[in-house]
Structure 1
Amino acid sequence: MQRTEARCSPGLLAALNHKVHRHLGMDFSGPRGADLLRRLQLLALELQVTDLEPWLQHLAFADWDAALVQTLIPAFSVGETYFRRDAEALDWLAVNHLGPLLARRRQAGQRSLRLWSAGCCTGEEAYSLLFLLDRLLGAERDSWTLELLASDINAAFLARAEQSLYGANAFRRNEEAFRSQHFAAEGRLWRVRPAWRGRIRFIQYNLADGLHACPMQGADLILCRNVLMYFSPTRAASVLHRLLGCLDGDGLLLLSAVEAGIATQAGFNGFWAGCNYALNSSAGRAAPRLASVPAAAAARQDISSATPPSVAGDQAPWPRRTDSVVGVDMTWPLVKRADAGAPSEGFWQQAQRSLDAGEYATAREALLAYLACAGLSHAQQHQACLLLARSWADQQHIDEAQDWLQRALLLDPGSVMGYWLQALLAQQSGDIAAALLALQKTLYLDPGFILGYFLQARLLRVQGRGQASDKALQVCRQLLGEQDEKALVAQGDGMSCGQLLRLCEQLLEEQHPWPNQ
């Protein structure tokens, strides 16, 4: 695969970083400049920009108006979400926050509630929250005043949320009763039923822009998950301070587990809310310090209650998988570890020991505690999320694996192994188109990834695209020809280059059989 390279001087990269940080709150200074360049290269690929260098020059020195920001948003956000994406978080809120809060308000005769989904994407989280509230209120719902705000920086996402029309990809937990209750079929799509339409106020709002006041004051709940991981530590701390200032006295700010370390590094004292991290209006802000991690027994109880037990007899942390499409046994991709500081290193080692023993719930507990440690780099957070994704994938929980994988890719959109795992998960789910898209990104970032071309050839053949399959197979054979036959194929689970070359020849014969003599 031919890859377009761009010459980007340190000065040009610094100018691009300045623009991104100013308008979006993200910091790509120093060694993260390469990450910024990769993001823009991937966006250019999607926008079909043929002359990359002049385009980057234009971005660095143009005035970023609202239209240009919207064009660039896809490089820095992922619209990967679905209904009840984090069912555990909703269940925790119902039992530990919203349920008790409604009881107190009812007793005091104050039948009102204000909630904000910040970074709502295409609306699935906001609607899921509305459905939950109506379930909690039951027959009393008409006597309550509910103000539900949903905001996002991406105007295209908001337009889709306003339509309240969703495809099958928005429903991934096989909850047919949930979908039938809240949605009406329109052809191959599903629209939110009239009982819930028009009850959420969707607005465009940039959390990183400190010049604009928060759109909701006195909030009883703010959901802001998988958003702060984008921001620089300074901007994230500022956003946290403003969000906490928007809470009512009984209000709660819910972050993702990935963002626990961001909060503690900024000096805010929170607590674990299941597998999420929560702050209240009294979280306070002291000098930055390490996160206080819950007692091991309590944390284990929280996680094990939401995590299925390990499969009996499955002792290998990354077991072999027989891929019916590829026809090759492969393991999940290896994670290369970046150095971590001493306090967090203990959690990391505990996670590795637990994975080695096949104790997935305990491993995930340790990884969540690791993510809550202050001072982790983006690379370290990315690696932890990737391990969490793999731990869920090994237990065949594809939705949970996809969730953590998306978080990993948000932290490092140039992760070759992240997109490779995404391709394997998509293939395992039977989504060949998504697998091929992930492979395209994998091979764009690493044009020498031999096994990626072999999988691409097989999947293209399944789609009936013989010519494209032949081309991918040709590149695979060419790369193999440059290697020693006994050399091992990267991510090939011990398979040699000679063995893969013979598999290529077999595939070629299947695609182009010799005529009968």
Structure 2
Amino acid sequence: MQRTEARCSPSLLAALNHKVHQHLGMDFSGARGGDLLRRLQLLALELQVADLEPWLQQLAFADWDAALVQTLIPAFSVGETYFRRDAEALDWLAVNHLGPLLTRRRQAGQRSLRLWSAGCCTGEEAYSLLFLLDRLLGAERDSWILELLASDINAAFIARAEQSLYGANAFRRNEAAFRNQHFQAEGRLWRVRPAWRGRIRFIQYNLADGLLACPMQGADLILCRNVLMYFSPTRAASVLHRLLGCLDRDGLLLLSAVEAGIATQAGFNGFWAGCNYALNSSAERAPPTLAVVSADAAARQDSSPATTPGVAGGQAPGPRRVEPTVVVDRAWPRVDRVDAGAPSEGFWQQAQRSLDAGEYVTAREALLAYLACTGLSHAQQHQACLLLAHSWADQQRIDEAQDWLQRALSLDPASVMGYWLQALLAQQGGDIPAALLALQKTLYLDPGFILGYFLQARLLRTQGRMRASDKALQVCRQLLDEQDEKALLAQGNGMSCGQLLRLCEQLLEEQHPCPIR
């Protein structure tokens, strides 16, 4: 079926955006109105809506009850997750938070633990956390009271999580031993073994609804990763306040690395937890002068609270999002457009429109048609291959992304953005030496690439090479001192120089804490 564009007046689009922000916490005002319309169009096709425009009118002015919200949720959420998606976060928690916490509880004679996976999607994160706890407790697991809560706004995701049945796509790290230990085969699917089934309480819960009571008080750990980045700044700050209020005195709130800027913007000082960002229950408020507002939010302060559409953890999806802080796992480089003559120009424009809409298959078809055009220069072919790599990376298809990236680098061995993407892909795959090598090439080709030095400092730190990390961080700060604090960073996805400088200071404080007097 061919999709036709709906006519939607600015006032109608504004009314729809108001409803979405009110009930889901997301903002599609301004230039993002087109994305909102596309999402609703696709949902209308799935629902077999015969007449789109009256349906949009009805949505804009109807009272959104729980049933209607659930009907609309698929337009704003996708189940993009898998087991041990961020193994480093689990390893960090085991060594630096859960392990020491269990020791303190044993010594105090308090054998209980409360944990919450907020935005759990289809349950992979929650089960991974349960497996980790059982490993830490060992033979004494039966003497502990574990309360593990997992919540998501999407009722369909919760139903799938409760079934505890997963396909091969949920096991992308190729950890056969992990899968065989915790799952049993059922045809082509894998179900969580009985020893772990029924031990997680899955509930439907809307984090953006400030009127709902917190489902867990006194939590020792809350995981809320890749969720808040899609809310408007005001709504994200409100959720942060409520989540921190749900923590026990020794509790910890773990965010993704891309949400560090959101915490800073909301006025909280946290700390790096591996490649994630953590806040404790007594997180000190940052001085107002140090609060960093992302460029994306600042650009819309004169309109309405804003966010960037996207999804992870069962909230709001979108592949081309603007993220308020440095991204170490999905900050794929922006590929600038190359002018070309017809018909190649038409294919290029189609690819860009499709990527903006999250239509990856259509985008790749257009890019392949573009590459088939005669008369393309090496630079044009290079950028097409780089964009193909980008499209696969956005979908977590690392092998395909690497394949197209190698083609791009063969066309332009001096591509700064090619090596930057190579570094990010290697980092995401856990190959730190390869990531550092790619960063070395990136910085050789562009010695003024500020964000490269920051990522280099963090990766060197994970290897224990503190002196080299300090040097990279020093260069990063020197370059930042030469910039206006409000200036946007190259490849920073809307991140300001002032915000990165703040993160540099926090990282330096962690590497060289002041001695207690």
TM-score by length of 2: 0.61
What is the CA–CA distance in structure 2 between the aligned matches of 1:36 and 1:386, rounded to whole Å?
Answer: 27
Bigger shift: 145-154 or 33-42? 33-42
Deviations 1:420-466 (A, max 9, x none): 6999xxxxxxxxxxxxx7313x38xxxxx7425579xxxxxxxxxxx
Question: Which residue is equivalent to 2:382?
Answer: 493
What is the CA–CA distance in structure 1 between the aligned matches of 2:91 and 2:330, rounded to whole Å?
Answer: 21
**What's the secondary structure of 2:252's corresponding residue?**
strand
Which residues in structure 2 correspond to 1:153-192 (within 5 Å)?
153-192=153-192
What is the CA–CA distance in structure 1 between the aligned matches of 2:205 and 2:375, rounded to whole Å?
Answer: 56
Which residues in structure 2 correspond to 1:40-119 (within 5 Å)?
40-49=40-49, 51-119=51-119
Deviation of 1:417 after TM superposition, in Å, equals 5.7
Is 1:26 equivalent to 2:26 in the alignment?
Answer: yes
Question: Which residue is equivalent to 2:122?
Answer: 122
Deviations 1:5-36 (A, max 9, x none): 11111110111011111111112223332332
**What's the secondary structure of 1:82's corresponding residue?**
coil
Deviation of 1:41 after TM superposition, in Å, equals 2.8
Which residues in structure 2 correspond to 1:271-286 (within 5 Å)?
271-286=271-286
Question: Which residue is equivalent to 2:147?
Answer: 147
Question: Which residue is equivalent to 2:360?
Answer: 438
Which residue identity lines up with residue 439 of structure 1 in the other structure? V
Which residue identity lines up with residue 248 of structure 1 in the other structure? D
> What is the CA RMSD across the aligned residues, in angstroms?
3.4
Deviation of 1:383 after TM superposition, in Å, equals 10
Question: Which residue is equivalent to 2:132?
Answer: 132
What is the CA–CA distance in structure 1 between the aligned matches of 2:207 and 2:257, rounded to whole Å?
Answer: 19
Q: In 2 relative to 1, CA 340–263 (structure 1 residues): closer, same or farther, beyond 3 Å?
A: closer
Deviations 1:379-422 (A, max 9, x none): 5428965984548xxxxxxxxxxxxxxxxxxxxxxx96697699
What is the CA–CA distance in structure 2 between the aligned matches of 1:418 and 1:264, rounded to whole Å?
Answer: 33
Deviations 1:345-391 (A, max 9, x none): xxxxxxxxxxxxxxxxxxxxxxxxxxxxxxxxx95428965984548
**What's the secondary structure of 2:323's corresponding residue?**
helix
Question: Which residue is equivalent to 1:406?
Answer: none
Q: In 2 relative to 1, CA 383–421 (structure 1 residues): closer, same or farther, beyond 3 Å?
A: farther
Question: Which residue is equivalent to 1:206?
Answer: 206
Q: In 2 relative to 1, CA 19–488 (structure 1 residues): closer, same or farther, beyond 3 Å?
A: farther
Which residue identity lines up with residue 493 of structure 1 in the other structure? H
> Between the two proteins, what is the percent identity of the paired residues?
82
Deviation of 1:198 after TM superposition, in Å, equals 0.6
Which residue identity lines up with residue 360 of structure 2 in the other structure? A
Contact 1:450–1:490 at 8 Å: present in 2 too? no
Deviation of 1:258 after TM superposition, in Å, equals 1.3
Is 1:451 equivalent to 2:367 in the alignment?
Answer: yes
Which residue identity lines up with residue 26 of structure 2 in the other structure? M
Q: In 2 relative to 1, CA 222–491 (structure 1 residues): closer, same or farther, beyond 3 Å?
A: farther
Deviation of 1:42 after TM superposition, in Å, equals 3.4
Deviations 1:449-505 (A, max 9, x none): 7425579xxxxxxxxxxxxxxxxxxxx9xxx6xxxx546699632799xxxxxxxxx
Contact 1:489–1:495 at 8 Å: present in 2 too? no
What is the CA–CA distance in structure 2 between the aligned matches of 1:384 and 1:42, rounded to whole Å?
Answer: 31
Contact 1:386–1:418 at 8 Å: present in 2 too? no
What is the CA–CA distance in structure 2 between the aligned matches of 1:96 and 1:78, rounded to whole Å?
Answer: 31
What is the CA–CA distance in structure 2 between the aligned matches of 1:276 and 1:495, rounded to whole Å?
Answer: 32
What is the CA–CA distance in structure 2 between the aligned matches of 1:277 and 1:18, rounded to whole Å?
Answer: 30
Deviation of 1:56 after TM superposition, in Å, equals 1.6
Unaligned runs of 5+ in 1: 293-337, 342-377, 392-414, 424-436, 444-448, 456-475, 497-517
Q: In 2 relative to 1, CA 192–419 (structure 1 residues): closer, same or farther, beyond 3 Å?
A: farther
Deviations 1:203-247 (A, max 9, x none): 111111111110000000000011111211111111000000000
Deviation of 1:277 after TM superposition, in Å, equals 0.6
Q: In 2 relative to 1, CA 421–175 (structure 1 residues): closer, same or farther, beyond 3 Å?
A: farther
Contact 1:150–1:203 at 8 Å: present in 2 too? yes
**What's the secondary structure of 2:212's corresponding residue?**
coil
Which residue identity lines up with residue 256 of structure 1 in the other structure? S
What is the CA–CA distance in structure 1 between the aligned matches of 2:173 and 2:383, rounded to whole Å?
Answer: 35
